[in-house]
Amino acid sequence: MHTRKRASGSLAAAKHQGTRVVMLGTGTPGPDPDRSGPATAIVVGDTPYLVDFGPGVVRRMAAAYRSGVTAFGLGAINLTTIFLTHLHADHTLGYPDLILTPWIMGRRAPLNIYGPQGLKPMTKHVMKAWQIDIANRTIGAEKLAAVPRVIVHEIKPGRVYGDTKIKVTAFLARHGELKNAFGYRVDTPHRTIVISGDTAPTEAIVEHGSGCDILIHEAYSEATYRMVTRKWQGYRRAYHTSSRELAEMANRAKPKLLVLYHRANPGAIGGPNSEHVLLKEVRQLYKGEVVTGHDLDVF
């Protein structure tokens, strides 16, 4: 039986080996104080990689560092390779923070970021929006050695990145009218992790997630689906995956562990879905191991 554990002080003494998944943010657009915006770190040995950067991502990395996941470095200065699923605000609002705060704290290597078409102009506008701050920190009393550098790679489906520790494959997600939305399959020497991003059911999840070690997938509860208006029911069907649909895909993909995140808000009644209701719905149809992800969980 898999044992889920949060990052803890005991991890500080652990050797930097293997592959860990750190749930930095598991929330939705709703401002839940217990769940930062979507952000998932994959740490291979002493090297961190990041998928998505919702609001709060840098401070969640700082919390993980304090709890023993030291690969990020103090101030997240060691993170230099990042992947983005899509351009919705809840997955990108941490972008200025990710560019600027670790730079202020001492990062000098460029950020390499891989994501959908539109990421280049977003980056350009972020840099322009903070140009006064950047100029002041490089020319003023701080005299930082160089401006923050961001290298953007707008991607298409297929292999998008590889180094000695990790291979990353992008596949198309189904997120309503948003054409450029991706999920990622991440292969390391120790594990295979698949991250759905935001998506309605798609065969790509089964194809790329077949037999994976960890499938991290968004979901909404069918119980709360019945509580929202017809408009929002249609939205959910087009943009997201129900508990039943996810269970059916998981039965085919057979991941060793299914992690639920980005649980859709139930709309008019307010607040995130009840965890036990969503879990119960999935478990009624899927008998593999499944948990709900919380911020700072480590798998």
Find out whether 76 and 102 touch, Cβ atoms under 8 Å.
yes
- Torsion sign, CA atoms 67, 73, 77, 79: negative
Q: Which token pair is 241?
A: 């995956």
Q: Tell me, what's the pLDDT at 15? A: 40
Which amino acid would we find at residue 295? D
Q: Tell me, what's the pLDDT at 274? A: 76
Q: Tell me, what's the pLDDT at 226? A: 82
Dihedral of the CA atoms 29, 6, 84, 235 (nearest 10)? -30
Q: Tell me, what's the pLDDT at 97? A: 98
* Predicted model pTM: 0.92
For the beta carbon of residue 78, count every other beta carbon within 10 angstroms.
19
Please compute the mean of the pLDDT values over residues 289-299 and round it to a whole number.
97
Whether the per-residue pLDDT at 194 is higher than 60: the answer is yes
- β-strand partners of 290: 258
Whether the per-residue pLDDT at 288 is higher than 50: the answer is yes
Whether the per-residue pLDDT at 8 is higher than 50: the answer is no
**pLDDT tens track for 11-68:** 333 443 599 999 999 999 988 899 999 999 999 999 999 999 999 999 999 999 999 9
**pLDDT tens track for 113-158:** 999 999 999 999 999 999 999 999 999 998 888 999 999 999 999 9
**Max Cα–Cα distance, the chain, nearest Å:** 61
Whether the per-residue pLDDT at 109 is higher than 90: the answer is yes
Q: Tell me, what's the pLDDT at 266? A: 56
**pLDDT tens track for 66-104:** 999 999 999 999 999 999 999 999 999 999 999 999 999
The residues spanned by each domain of the chain are 5-294
Closest CA to 21 of 219, 256, 216, 278: 216
**pLDDT tens track for 156-173:** 999 999 999 999 999 999
Closest CA to 197 of 220, 173, 180: 173
Whether the per-residue pLDDT at 7 is higher than 60: the answer is no
Q: Tell me, what's the pLDDT at 273? A: 52
Give the 3-state DSSP-derived string for the chain, with helices as H, strands as E and coil as C.
CCCCEECCHHHHHCCCCCEEEEEEECCCCCCCCCCCCCEEEEEECCEEEEECCCCCHHHHHHHHHHCCCHHHCHHHCCCCEEECCCCCHHHHCCHHHHHHHHHHHCCCCCEEEEECCCHHHHHHHHHHHCHHHHHHHHHCCCCCCCCCCEEEEECCCEEEEECCCCEEEEEECEECCECCCEEEEEECCCCEEEECCCCECCHHHHHHHCCCCEEEEEEECHHHHCCCCHHHHHHHHHHCCEHHHHHHHHHHHCCCEEEEEEECCCHHHCCCCCHHHHHHHHHHHCCCCEEECCCCEEC
CATH code of 5-294, in short, is: 3.60.15.10
